Amino acid sequence: MNIGIFCDSFYPESKAVAVRLYHMATGLSRQQHHVTVHTCTRGEQVPGIRIVRNWLRAPSNESSNLVRLFSEFLLGFENFIRILFSRYDLVIISSPPFIASVMGVWAARLRKLPYVIDVRDEYPKVFFIAGLLSEHSIPGRVLSYLERSSYAHARMIVSVTERICNRIQTEHPNKHVYLLRNGFDEALFKPSDGQYEVFTTVFHGNIGKFQRPDLIIDLARHCKENQIAIRFLVIGWGQNDRELQGSLPDNMEFLGQQAYTVIPSIISKAHVGLSFRTDDEISLNSFPVKVYEYIGVGIPVLVTPISEAGSFIENQQLGFQFTGHRVSELADILRKLAFEKTYYQSLRSNVVQTRARFSRTTLSDEFAKVVGALLNNKV
């Protein structure tokens, strides 16, 4: 079957969406589907996958809201034209970018072409929580209608967390909603034979508006002031990285954006992975890719706030979750992990033994089989 995937970012970029859709595409290809990816990414070809470069660049998180909205509309118009004149048996539309995905859905519906929508973030709810729009305003109600309409006509809705899947299933009880966790790339993310000499925490990934670099800085300062010998590494980029580019405590280092293939060799030598997010509904429902990748390299994880990811980590005994800005509590657990070697090794051993369940290859192959059944009208 011919399947088209429409997204703003793809391999070899290191963004979460690029990695997710790369594995989705390769999983479908392994099931003998003919896969074409339409993307803004300029880069390498992928064996077994046809890649079509979009005319336009991807919307940037670092742009103003107005510029980003205009960029999404332009990308959406391009996707609309490409889908309208395509010859696919099924299209998979990635969201966000939300406006672009909605316009892709319109084209699929005009063509009466079955589509799957892959929902990674809860738009337009993100706009409401960020204070960009009121949920009860006319634009807010229009965007909410467009979201519901996109789901109502989809052949299947895919999402990354149980909470998002459950919400969509409740609102659309007759639709097929599928949980496809992000997982980690087992070819890259492996436990290291050796770790940094100084006990080291690491944060990596997009540093957007829902991340908490300020909490990492405060925690590093607290540890320095209290003579807790712990090093803090931060890898990433984004609109919220300004503080990291200023003066930092000398137990902290900001490495900026790194190639995706380089990141595993850095984080695998660390002792603890950090995933600190803002305390809001979006973060409550989130399960960041970085958490899976910490599991992949076999290190325990600290998560804020209390959330789906944090509850999973605690229930599986892979780390700990905390509410809000609990610098003292975070420092206490880091001190315990750093200086009680038996305790740390026991926790780390459990992470290493659990990691195989979250391989992206396993998860994407399962997804591809479901899509195959969908195309054969067995789902």
User: Which pLDDT band holds residue 11 (cuts at 50, 70, 90)?
Assistant: confident
Are 353 and 363 part of one and the same domain?
no
Q: What is the pLDDT of residue 310?
A: 94
Range of the domain at 159: 2-183+359-375
Are 138 and 162 part of one and the same domain?
yes
pLDDT, average across residues 269-278: 97
Q: What is the pLDDT of residue 62?
A: 65
Question: What percentage of the chain reaches a pLDDT higher than 90?
Answer: 73
Residue 189 in domain: no
Are 221 and 280 part of one and the same domain?
yes
Tell me the per-residue pLDDT of 307-349, one tens digit each, with 9 for 90 and over: 989 999 999 999 999 987 889 999 999 999 999 999 999 999 9
pLDDT, average across residues 220-235: 97
Q: What is the pLDDT of residue 285?
A: 82
pLDDT of 66 over the 80 cut: no
Residue 195 in domain: no
What are 191's two structure tokens? 């436990």
pLDDT, average across residues 360-374: 93
Domains identified in the chain, total number: 2
**Sequential DSSP letters for 221-280:** HHHHHTT---EEEEEEESTT-TGGGS---TTEEEEE---TTTHHHHHTTSSEEEEEB-SS
Q: Which amino acid is at 17?
A: V
Cα distances (angstroms) measured from residue 203 to each of 76, 122, 211, 216, 271: 32, 23, 10, 9, 11
pLDDT of 69 over the 90 cut: no
Return the CATH number at 294. 3.40.50.2000
Q: What is the pLDDT of residue 197?
A: 96
Mean pLDDT over all residues of the chain?
A: 92
3-state secondary structure of 318: coil
pLDDT, average across residues 112-136: 89
Are 43 and 118 part of one and the same domain?
yes
Are 85 and 170 part of one and the same domain?
yes
pLDDT of 73 over the 80 cut: yes
pLDDT of 378 over the 70 cut: no
Q: What is the pLDDT of residue 16?
A: 81
Tell me the per-residue pLDDT of 244-253, one tens digit each, with 9 for 90 and over: 998 999 999 9
